[in-house]
Chains A and B, each alone.
Chain A
Amino acid sequence: MTDRIDMTHGGGGRAMADLIRDVFHKHLGNEVLDRGDDAGLFAVQKGRMVMSTDGHVISPLFFPGGDIGSLSVHGTVNDLAMMGAKPLYLTAGFILEEGFPLADLERIVWSMAQAARAADVKVISGDTKVVERGKGDGVFITTTGVGAVPDGLDISVANVTAGQSIIVSGTMGDHGVAVLSKRENLEFETEICSDSAALHGLVADMVAAVPSIAMLRDPTRGGLSATLNEIATAAGVGMALDEAQIPVSPDVAAACELLGLDPLNTANEGKLIAICPRAEAQTLLAAMRAHPLGQRAVVIGETVADPAHLVQMETAFGGTRIVDWLSGEQLPRIC
């Protein structure tokens, strides 16, 4: 085998078949995928299912705490988990750039396989295409997932009303800072790792403890501020947050100070926001803190009636300010 992807790997011929066998099936293989059919066959459970898809274009491909492979599995598993579903199956589409090192591809696929195994999901179908040099960014991965939602669960933004508690599962901004630390021209060193993780185990414990959870969402791109604003707008409520309660690790805070970034606008890949009835908040927290991925869970505020749907925050300093959507991408600043 050559050591880089070339156009023949996408051509549908022998080279492509070899690649699929020697890299994808080798690591991702399971009884469904190994049948080698055009589509993955699975039995459908009774009840409701959810399906979600994600495109992954992250740069750099490898970062402290993960890579595009593990990230893609966690991302889709988490989308399903935010509906309270047990994730079952994934598909993965790869768009590879001509010239991409095969060793890197194998590393990524291996990482995907590890993440899938740990999350107890199977990749049951896949696709590979190759684009000419310069037309891709190394590799793009699209994952689609299906999961089953247990009877009786109704987790949706439609359930959000005023007077509910807003909880986060842990520290904010870790993933965004970890990825930024690897970007050129910013060059800072840190031990900060991405928090990329599959959250469905935590979610299962949460819904078992508090079936009346209103909604769940993971604050990925745009960070906590974007996600809370999305929810506020969709649900037609305002929010009142307490900055002193929002957990940010000292290293993340320091990196953000250095670059002029706001941890609230910075991406997370292994955290969730839960909104639940106020009376259930302590029960929910106890369940979360008992799980490794929710040890720093805390109530950060509550939903309020507000025709303007603003997310407002009492600052740690004692004043009040709005937590707004980010405009465009967060850029380091000098001023």
Chain B
Amino acid sequence: MCLAIPAKVLSIEPDDMAVVTVENVRKRISTALLDQVAVGDYLLIHVGYALHKLSEEEAAHTLSLMAEAGILQEELAEISGEPTCAT
């Protein structure tokens, strides 16, 4: 839903704050909604707050599932002798 974006923790600050970065754009945000934030973590940022940590493992897994969808498609096409052109 609401606009939230993954950003990388650059530094931790006192009072539940942190500086995060997307590319080279830096923003100070609140980590009051999370426990244990570390430099290098990817956090989901919404209206100036980190809502959740992003799991890099799961992100990679999701991407591989998406890629698999294509591989299966090619395999099926090979078997049936159909062309594999995109939509």
Contacts and interface: CB of A to CB of B under 8 A. Distances in A.
Interface of A: 187-192, 250-251, 253-255, 257-258, 260, 318, 333-335
A188 B1 contact: no
Nearest to A191: B24
Interface in B69-87: 87
B25 A334 contact: no
Interface in B18-46: 22-28, 45-46
Contact of A254 (B22, B28, B87): B22
A318 B86 CA distance: 11
A334 B3 contact: yes
Given A189-B25, A189-B26, A190-B25, A334 B5 contact: no
Nearest to B47: A334
B85 to A, nearest CB: 13
A250 B3 contact: no
Given A334-B46, A334-B47, A260 B3 contact: yes
B66 interface: no
A188 B26 contact: yes
Given A187-B28, A334-B46, A334-B47, A253 B2 contact: no
Contact of B22 (A187, A191, A258, A260): A258
Q: Chain B: interface residue count, which band?
A: 10 to 19
B23 A254 contact: yes
Contacts of B22: 254-255, 257-258
A200 B3 CA distance: 40
Interface of B: 1-3, 5, 7, 22-28, 45-47, 87
A77 B85 CA distance: 50
A254 B24 contact: yes
A335 B1 contact: yes
A188 B45 CA distance: 13
27 contacts: A187-B27, A187-B28, A188-B25, A188-B26, A189-B26, A189-B27, A190-B24, A190-B25, A190-B26, A191-B24, A192-B25, A250-B23, A251-B23, A253-B23, A254-B22, A254-B24, A254-B25, A255-B22, A257-B22, A258-B7, A258-B27, A333-B3, A334-B3, A334-B46, A334-B47, A335-B1, A335-B2
A172 to B, nearest CB: 16
Nearest to A181: B25
Given A192-B25, A334-B47, 12 more contacts: A188-B25, A189-B25, A190-B24, A190-B26, A253-B23, A255-B22, A257-B5, A258-B45, A260-B3, A333-B3, A334-B3, A335-B2
A49 B24 CA distance: 44
